[in-house]
């Protein structure tokens, strides 16, 4: 089963933001959307989640997303936005339960393992507003994970749609989140993630979509996409792949498993 976007175009006000973008993400893999600031990554993600109206067509398992009822969309995919603000003093457990409400279920047993999966065991009774930014981000990921807890159900694969899921996290928790996403994909679910860290992306993603100026420059495996020419063109500066910088210091995780 695939998530397929075909000829997606978006204008915000009078400004064109996406220009005929087409991508395919398959279940059982991590598809990472990468590119410089302002390239259209988050706008594309908002189209994929149904949050933003667009020209073109988006299908999930062959079904038109625009024709899928919201409750069914909530059962098929969980969405992690870049940021989420809560105005009321919810506990961590209450925030995670929001994901269960989106499924129309009260599966309380999912809350502890969802928090454990994001390295927050024992946080259920803590107030969300008292947590650090990185902890709040992981609580939101637990909420999304609880919503689509089983990667595959009787109707097929479910999906995690993650917009910059590691942006506020230290290296260890970046690996925690990416390993979680990798495990979800290995179990048959689909994962689409907007990413900035190209090294981390290369470790975990099976498919990369490289964007620039509202267009897809290329899509393929890490070795196909992460080349000197592709990255230099996308980011507008000279970049080299697999070359240690002049300082001789390069901090990079060496194991994705």
Q: What is the pLDDT of residues 90-146, one digit of tens each?
A: 999 999 998 787 665 666 789 999 999 999 999 999 999 999 999 999 999 999 999
Q: In this predicted model, what pLDDT tens digit does every residue of 131-174 receive, in sequence order? A: 999 999 999 999 999 999 999 998 899 999 999 999 989 999 99
Q: Kindly state whether residue 123 falls inside one of the protein's structural domains.
A: no
Residue 204 covered by a domain: yes
Lowest-confidence pick of 160-169, 172-181, 235-244, 248-257: 248-257
Residues 208-223, mean pLDDT to the nearest whole number? 96
Identify whether 247 is part of a domain: no
pLDDT confidence of residue 98: 87
Nearest to 37 by CA among 133, 138, 164, 181: 164
Per the model's pLDDT, the better-predicted residue between 71 and 32 turns out to be 32
Q: How are beta strands 159-163 and 77-80 bridged, if at all?
A: parallel
Each residue of 63-90: pLDDT tens digit? 998 889 988 888 899 999 988 878 788 9
Residue at 102 is within a domain:
no
Query: The domain spanning residue 53 has which CATH number?
Result: 3.40.50.300
Q: Is the pLDDT of residue 244 over 80?
A: no
Total of domains in the chain: 1
Q: Lowest mean pLDDT: which of 53-57, 103-107, 127-131, 233-237? A: 103-107
CA distance 63 to 102: 20
Say if residue 247 is exposed, middle or buried (CB neighbours under 10 Å; 0-12, 13-18, 19+): exposed
Q: Residue 117 burial (CB < 10 Å; 0-12/13-18/19+)?
A: buried
Give percent of the chain above pLDDT 70: 93
Q: Does residue 110 form part of some domain?
A: no
Residue 253 has pLDDT above 80, yes or no: no
Domain that holds residue 72: 2-79+156-235
User: Quick check: is 34 in a domain?
Assistant: yes
Is 93 a member of any domain? Answer: no
Between the CA of residue 94 and those of 29, 42, 103, 120, 249, what are the distances in Å? Answer: 30, 27, 15, 14, 43
Tell me what the mean pLDDT of segment 36-53 comes to: 94
Instruction: Give strand pairing partners of 57.
Output: 6
Between strands 207-212 and 55-60, the pairing is unpaired
User: Interhelix angle for 92-102 vs 133-147, to 10°?
Assistant: 30
Per the domain annotation, does 254 fall within a domain?
no
Higher-confidence position of 27 and 239: 27
């Amino acid at each position: 089963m695939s998530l397929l976007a075909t000829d997606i175009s978006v204008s915000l006000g009078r400004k064109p933001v996406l220009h005929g973008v087409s991508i395919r993400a398959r279940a059982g893999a991590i598809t990472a959307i990468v590119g410089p600031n302002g390239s259209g990554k988050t706008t594309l993600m908002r189209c994929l989640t149904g949050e933003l109206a667009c020209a073109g067509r988006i299908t999930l398992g062959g079904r038109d997303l625009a024709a899928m009822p919201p409750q069914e969309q909530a059962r098929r995919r969980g969405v992690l936005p870049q940021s989420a603000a809560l105005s009321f003093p919810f506990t961590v457990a209450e925030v995670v339960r929001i994901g269960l409400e989106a499924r129309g279920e009260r599966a309380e047993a999912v809350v502890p393992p969802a928090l454990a999966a994001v390295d927050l065991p024992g946080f259920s009774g803590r107030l969300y507003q008292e947590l650090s930014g990185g902890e709040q981000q992981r609580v939101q990921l637990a909420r999304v994970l609880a919503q689509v807890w089983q990667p595959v159900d009787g109707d097929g694969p479910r999906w995690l749609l993650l917009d910059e899921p590691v942006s506020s996290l230290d290296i260890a928790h970046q690996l925690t989140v990416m390993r979680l996403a990798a495990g979800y994909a290995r179990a048959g679910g689909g994962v689409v993630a907007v990413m900035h860290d190209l090294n981390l992306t290369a470790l975990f993603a099976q498919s990369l979509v490289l964007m620039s100026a509202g267009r897809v420059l290329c899509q393929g495996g890490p070795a196909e996409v992460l080349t000197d020419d592709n990255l230099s063109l996308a980011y507008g500066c000279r970049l080299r792949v697999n070359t240690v910088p002049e300082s001789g210091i390069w901090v990079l995780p060496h194991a994705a498993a």
